[in-house]
Structure 1
Amino acid sequence: MLALAAGPYAARISPAHGGIVAALEWRGSDGRSHRLLHAPEGLAPWTNAPNKFGCWAMLPFANRAFDSRVDDGEIRFTVPANDPSGTIHGFGWQAAWEVERQDISHTVLVHRRSAGPDPYRYLARQDIRLDEAGMTIALSLTNESDTALPFGMGLHPWFPCAADTRLGMTATGALIFGEKFRATGTQALEAGGPYAGKPVFATGTETAWSFLGWDGTARIETPSAGLAITISASESLRCPVVWAPAGADFLCVEPQSHAAGAPSEAVVRAASPLKRLEPGETLEGWMRISAEAL
């Protein structure tokens, strides 16, 4: 496990388990330490199923490829299944990442896929940096195949959620989900969508959104903890998924380059496709997490 620190921020990272940021903590001016990422005591990272804590990369596509099918309208192929629905979150979260660089507040992790039953061959990098004001994760994904392929990526952070936690963010549209998160269409959202007014997040039922037209900033406020967390993302990661099961003590705000199901679903592809990369081309994006006292 790698340890990073800068000012009031400290992080722990496991390169061997999908390059997961297993913990991120912030120390307020009153000396109190706050967990900015959901991180249950004694829980170790694994790769047999998606970790429900910390933050990890999704690539060469984010969210689901239903029936393990990737289809961008020009090329179609199958990828190895890792979920009952087909393939979820790509391959990076199940891979061992190599440490390319490390110092006290910064590390660069690398994951290369050079073999497999599908055409995906790529080089991925996570540049993880702490500074006095927060943590930034910059992703890059380079097509190392000899043909143009559809790519996507995202980051999957899990944030603590209490009964009084509020989420604030705005978007102009969203997918309409049918059974098992399979989209049936898209919808326009009025007045910035369901979180424009920063409502209490916990509703007692499952929450699932795949937003379009996000402005790139979200804010999570928990008055009982005296904590506010701000998430911001690059223009290339403006299709966030917001998800939590009923009664969970966490919520997910996942900046992605495409909407949920875009790898396999024509209705999603029409609104938010993967990016077709020529050999040697690179897709880039970043997410930043920062904290302040309420």
Structure 2
Amino acid sequence: MSHEEITLTAGDAEVTLQPSNGGRVGGLRVGGVELLRQGERFGCFPMVPWCGRIRDGRFRDGATTHQMPLNSPPHAIHGTARDGAWTVARSGTDEAVMTYDLVEPWPWPGRVTQIAALTPDALTLTISVETYDSSFPAQIGWHPWFNRTLGGEGVRVDFTPAWQEERGEDHLPTGHRVDPKPSPWDDCFGMPEGVDVTLTWPGQLELKVTSREEWVVVYDEQEAAVCVEPQTGPPNGLNTLPRLVTPLEPLEASTTWTWRRL
């Protein structure tokens, strides 16, 4: 099918999907107001088959060490699926399905499926990673860039994590958990009851990012946007907390953004 942009609509909400640009959500407009930072690298892209940074781009699978390209030297970052063109499997008025087949430099064959489902007040994104061959470690996550302002006061980010992963000078978790520190952040937090982060643009809109997963990276060091990234494990997780994809057990995760006018 075509790799042109797909537009989903429900009520006064409109979502643009960009299959050929890494399967990303290119835009989310509510009442005509764009919530996501615009640009080829922004919107919201899927992080698959890993999230965040891998130390030195290397991870082990049993006795074998695999090397990924150092696209954020000295590390590899955010997976490979955001760099590829996805295929549209199905699209309708308010739901679309896109797929991406894992290829080199990822060492194993596998298929990634992403479902985007829109209602008048919510967008749910679901990703699964399947293999019909060898088992392999993987992660799933999303990297949305929410506009810091919608024309008025800057966004407020509210959440109550159980802990913060201590971040080393190399930007990777040290393995120690610490009490959550105040912003600015480029940090991973633990939310064992599930990710639940509220973004509030005062007087305009409230948006909740939720997921059953217990890890979230919050990045607010840029002036234009803030990122709230639910994921199935911490950065460098292919080394520290691998989740295995097997022929019998795919890896699946979802996140829902729910909004209301203020």
- The 5 A counterparts of 1:118-267 are 118-146=106-134, 148-162=135-149, 164-189=154-179, 193-194=180-181, 206-214=184-192, 215-223=194-202, 226-233=204-211, 235=212, 237-246=213-222, 248-264=223-239
- Residue 37 of structure 1: aligned partner: 36
Looking at secondary structure, tell me which structure has more strand per residue.
2
AA aligned to 1:221 is T
Distance 1:83 1:167 in 2: 26
> 1:72 deviation in Å?
5.5
The amino acid of 1:125's aligned partner reads: T
Q: Distance in 1 between the 2:45 and 2:258 partners? A: 17
Distance 2:106 2:117 in 1: 33
Q: Given the two structures, how large is their TM-score scaled by the length of structure 1?
A: 0.80
Task: Tell me which residue corresponds to 1:198.
Answer: none
Residue 106 of structure 1: CA displacement?
A: 0.9
Distance (Å, rounded) in 2 between the aligned partners of 1:150 and 1:74: 13
The answer on whether the counterparts of 2:25 and 2:43 sit within 8 Å (CA) in structure 1 is yes
Q: What is the 5 A alignment of 1:55-70?
A: 55-70=44-59
Partner amino acid, structure 2, of 1:228:
E
Cα distance in 2 between the residues matched to 1:117 and 1:6: 38
Task: Give 1:207 deviation, angstroms.
Answer: 1.9
Structure 2 residue identity aligned to 1:230: K
Q: Judge conservation of contact 1:72–1:274 (CA < 8 Å) in 2.
A: no
How much has 1:75 moved relative to structure 2?
4.7
Asked whether the 8 Å contact 1:100–1:110 carries over to 2, the reply is yes
Deviates more, 1:80-89 or 1:167-176: 80-89
User: Any gaps of 5 or more consecutive residues in structure 1?
Assistant: 28-32, 46-50, 196-202
Pairing 1:65-76 to 2, within 5 Å after superposition: 65-71=54-60, 75-76=64-65
Question: TM-score, normalising length from structure 2?
Answer: 0.89
Q: Which one of the candidate residues 283, 288, 291 is aligned to 2:251? A: 283
The answer to whether 1:88 aligns with 2:77 is yes
Q: What does 1:18-57 align with in structure 2 at a 5 Å threshold?
A: 18-27=22-31, 33-39=32-38, 43=39, 45=40, 51=41, 53-57=42-46
Q: Distance in 1 between matches of 2:122 and 2:206?
A: 12
The Cα of 1:117 is off from its aligned counterpart by: 4.8
Quote the sequence identity (%): 25
The alpha-carbon deviation at position 73 of structure 1 amounts to 6.1
Say what the alpha-carbon RMSD is for the aligned residues: 2.0
CA distance in 1, matches of 2:66, 2:29: 41
Provide the rounded CA distance (Å) in 1 between the counterparts of 2:251 and 2:106.
19
What are the ranges of 5 or more consecutive residues in structure 2 without an aligned counterpart? Answer: none
Tell me which amino acid in the other structure corresponds to 1:97: W
Distance 1:142 1:186 in 2: 32
